[in-house]
Amino acid sequence: MTIPELQIDLTNPSPGVVKTGEVYRLPKPVMASQLNWQPVNGGYAARLQFVSDQAKRMCFHLAFKTKPSAIRFRVQGNSSNSAVFFADQNFINDNNIWLPITVGTTGDLEIFIQGDQPEEGSFEVDAVNIIVAGIRSGNNRKIMEKQSLNDLIKPKSLGLALEPEFDLACWNGVPEYPALQVAANATALISFIRNGGSFICTGTLLNDQRNSSKPWFITANHCVTDQRASNTLSFEWFFQAPACLSSDTDSRYSQTFGGARLLYANKKNDTSFMRLRARPPAGVAYSGWSTKRLFVGRQVWGVHHPEGDHTMVSQGAVTGLNQTVKGNNDTNLAVNEILFSVGGAEIASSGSGLFTVVNGLPYWVGGLYGGPVNDYQLNYYSRFRDVFPKIQPWLGKRRKS
């Protein structure tokens, strides 16, 4: 099935998020009964292909009359770096599923139904998210001449970030580097669908006091506002440069999907806290966190995906405590003010973690809300000590590192 060229407006509807594409609603949904079902071992299988010349990536949506007891999906794009992804009925939420994101102009969907051929009207493929903003390449690179750094730190990016930013690998050699690696391995680039568009932000896995490895995840509420958006979430892990001055992506890079169960959401502190439905890949980190009071002058680090670029690390200091800024819908937010001296934050950095480093370990102390349009190094972060009492039932006792 060929999707016509769409007029996609990538204007960001709200500060902090990056719009990557739009949802195309099929004029006539493809019904289960219209597919060419072939008998295979244990059931029936059918295949459907979508083509969009303008797509860099795409994502399929299916709606079900009732949740099936046994169904499996296989999706793959036609790009050389497009992986094969599998899903099953466990990722169907409220009788809907957004499948994993494929890479390329063509997306293949294979469906396997265990047992009998599906009944007429049992499900339909009704929408495709056409993503036209890629995360693999860019042309926005700026000459990095605003900041002077020692020889240990060299700026580099895929070119998506609009301002001077610094890859994680370029901090190799500073004492905090091992802690920054842990923070980066807990950080994910997140994609989600909201109001007919697709968007990206950043978020972080948090540990709990039991070290249970349960996938608790935190990001900004202005990114993931409600359960409906949370159901569409996919997560990209280890989206990092393997070495300084490299435009390649870490070989550990992988995507998980299936959304998350939203446990706490509050626009007044710009926090959304959730539990992922799919387990993150092996090797991820679950960041520590701290409710200890910060002080002006405290060194801090931001770990984020500016404009959807590789994991970048910014260094700065606390310059203001418990300040009030005007949020969306005229909401007043109590935030901490951070001034970065190396790197900064941009759109799609929203929701990313602010970290302190204590005894060689990173501690999450807040999430990025935003900052002035004309100064990417001045930013405002939520105050984790204010948020913690609301999510303590899942994380455990207060930590004062």
The model's pLDDT over 14-24, given as tens digits with 9 standing for 90+, comes to: 788 999 999 99
Arithmetic mean of pLDDT, 271-295: 97
More confident call, 81 vs 92:
92
Arithmetic mean of pLDDT, 109-123: 90
- Residue 55 in this model has a pLDDT that exceeds 80: yes
Residue ranges making up the domain that contains 38: 18-131
User: pLDDT value at position 401?
Assistant: 42
Bridge partners, 340 (sequence order): 316
Statement to judge: residues 87 and 36 lie in one domain:
yes
Task: Extract the tokens encoding 13.
Answer: 């509807």
More confident call, 243 vs 354:
354
**Phi, psi (deg, nearest 5) at residue 269:** -120, 10
Statement to judge: residues 269 and 354 lie in one domain:
yes
User: pLDDT value at position 247?
Assistant: 87
Residue 226 lies in a domain: yes
- Residue 113 in this model has a pLDDT that exceeds 60: yes
Burial letters 101-125, b for 16+ CB under 10 A, else e: bbbbbbbbbbbbbeeebbeeebbbb
- Residue 151 in this model has a pLDDT that exceeds 50: no
Arithmetic mean of pLDDT, 120-132: 93
User: pLDDT value at position 135?
Assistant: 57
Q: Residue 355 in contact with residue 305, Cβ under 8 Å?
A: no
User: pLDDT value at position 139?
Assistant: 38
Cβ neighbour number for residue 321 with a 10 Å cutoff: 15
Q: Which of 114, 131, 148 is the last residue of a domain?
A: 131
- Kindly report the average pLDDT of the chain as a whole number: 91
Q: How many domains does the chain have?
A: 2
Statement to judge: residues 79 and 194 lie in one domain:
no
Q: Residue 313 in contact with residue 333, Cβ under 8 Å?
A: no
- Residue 363 in this model has a pLDDT that exceeds 50: yes
Residue 234 lies in a domain: yes
Please report which confidence band the pLDDT of residue 142 belongs to, taking 50, 70 and 90 as the band edges. very low
- Residue 96 in this model has a pLDDT that exceeds 80: yes
Q: Residue 360 in contact with residue 266, Cβ under 8 Å?
A: no
- Residue 399 in this model has a pLDDT that exceeds 70: no
Statement to judge: residues 85 and 201 lie in one domain:
no
